[in-house]
């Protein structure tokens, strides 16, 4: 509980001057994100729109516009597993439990497309993580993971993204690590990717062994980061260099 209070307090302190990685980008890349006809992420959104009907989502959920605000509330508490679940996990769970089909694998184009489509419905809305006391243990673990030194470089997330945010690592500016635009189109990837893919990049960057896709640790870190980014506007599908 003390750790949770500390995290909330910290989020409050950071709240004064938080900024999205968007502001660190070149004007050209910012323009690419702003313009839906130039944002390559919209290709995945279109793919998601087609899947929304063909994969049967529309049968229960109706028009996808009804998903407005949903992405802003994740990760949420999942009664079935007794822990937090992220949006991609919820979509997969829906496919498996309610549709009785094999879910699209994590990080597949289809899974990213559906997440991007649902995420887009909440674009511009403030991140609003659920105030669910059952999430407190996972939130505390996410906080600890964020501060845990790891890898051969012995660096924690906080050492770059809190202590040195806004400075440079090589030629790249270090953002504050607010996951407000996922899944996003990264120019370096030349494709769409989830927050987990981004976290794996950072973990490999400090030469530590990344967790497998879908690992509980990623969702705990996401839970912590989304709490830390509470109130910031969602940007999905964002573009990053």
Partner 1 sequence: MARTLINLPRTARRGEVIEIRTLIQHVMETGYRPGADGVVVPRDIVTRFTCLYNNEEVFSAELAPAIAANPFLSFSVVAAESGILAFTWSGDNGFEQTETRSLTVT
Return the active site residues: 202
H-helix or E-strand spanning residue 168:
strand 168-169
Using CB under 8 A as the binding rule, whether residue 40 contacts partner 1 is answered as: yes
Write the CA distances from 82 to 71, 77, 85, 137, 189, integer angstroms. Answer: 20, 7, 9, 11, 34
Using CB under 8 A as the binding rule, whether residue 38 contacts partner 1 is answered as: yes
Using CB under 8 A as the binding rule, whether residue 190 contacts partner 1 is answered as: yes
Minimum CB separation from partner 1 for residue 40, in Å? Answer: 4
Dihedral in degrees, nearest 10, Cα atoms 66, 39, 227, 145: 130
- Residue 48, Cβ neighbours under 10 Å: how many? 27
Residues 198 and 188: beta-carbon distance below 8 Å: no
- Residue 222, Cβ neighbours under 10 Å: how many? 25
Minimum CB separation from partner 1 for residue 200, in Å? Answer: 15
Which range, of 41-49, 66-74, 200-208, 209-217, touches partner 1 by CB under 8 A?
41-49
Q: Rounded CA gap, 14 and 187, in Å?
A: 28
DSSP characters for 82-108?
A: TEEE-HHHHHHHIIIIIS-SPPPPTT-
Closer to partner 1 by Cβ: residue 135 or 192: 192
Query: For partner 1, which residue of 46, 53, 132, 209 counts as binding (CB under 8 A)?
Result: 46
Using CB under 8 A as the binding rule, whether residue 187 contacts partner 1 is answered as: yes
Using CB under 8 A as the binding rule, whether residue 47 contacts partner 1 is answered as: yes
Query: For partner 1, which residue of 16, 27, 28, 37 counts as binding (CB under 8 A)?
Result: 37
Q: Which residues are annotated as a binding site for heme c?
A: 57, 60-61, 94, 157, 160-161, 202
What are the residues binding partner 1 (CB under 8 A)? 36-38, 40, 42-44, 46-47, 187, 190-191
Q: Cite the annotated binding site for substrate by residue number.
A: 198
């Amino acid at each position: 509980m003390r750790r949770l209070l500390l995290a909330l307090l910290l989020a409050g302190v950071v709240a004064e001057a938080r900024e999205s990685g968007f502001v660190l980008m070149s004007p050209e890349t910012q323009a690419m994100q702003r313009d839906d006809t130039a944002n390559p992420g919209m290709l995945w959104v279109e793919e998601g729109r087609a899947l929304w009907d063909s994969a049967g989502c529309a049968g229960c959920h109706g028009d996808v516009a009804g998903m407005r605000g949903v992405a802003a509330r994740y990760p949420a508490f999942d009664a079935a597993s007794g822990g937090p679940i992220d949006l991609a996990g919820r979509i997969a769970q829906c496919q498996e439990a309610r549709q009785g089909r094999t879910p699209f694998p994590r990080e597949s184009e289809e899974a990213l497309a559906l997440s991007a489509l649902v995420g887009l419905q909440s674009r511009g809305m403030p991140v609003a993580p659920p105030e669910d006391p059952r999430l407190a243990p996972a939130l505390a673990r996410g906080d600890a993971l964020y501060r845990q030194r790891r890898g051969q470089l012995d660096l924690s997330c906080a050492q770059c993204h809190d202590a040195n945010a806004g400075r440079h690592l090589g030629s790249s500016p270090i953002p504050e690590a607010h996951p407000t635009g996922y899944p996003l189109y990264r120019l370096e990837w030349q494709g769409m990717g989830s927050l987990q893919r981004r976290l794996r990049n950072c973990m490999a960057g400090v030469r530590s062994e990344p967790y497998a896709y879908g690992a509980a640790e990623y969702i705990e870190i996401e839970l912590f980061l989304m709490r830390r980014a509470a109130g910031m506007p969602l940007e999905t599908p964002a573009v990053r260099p």
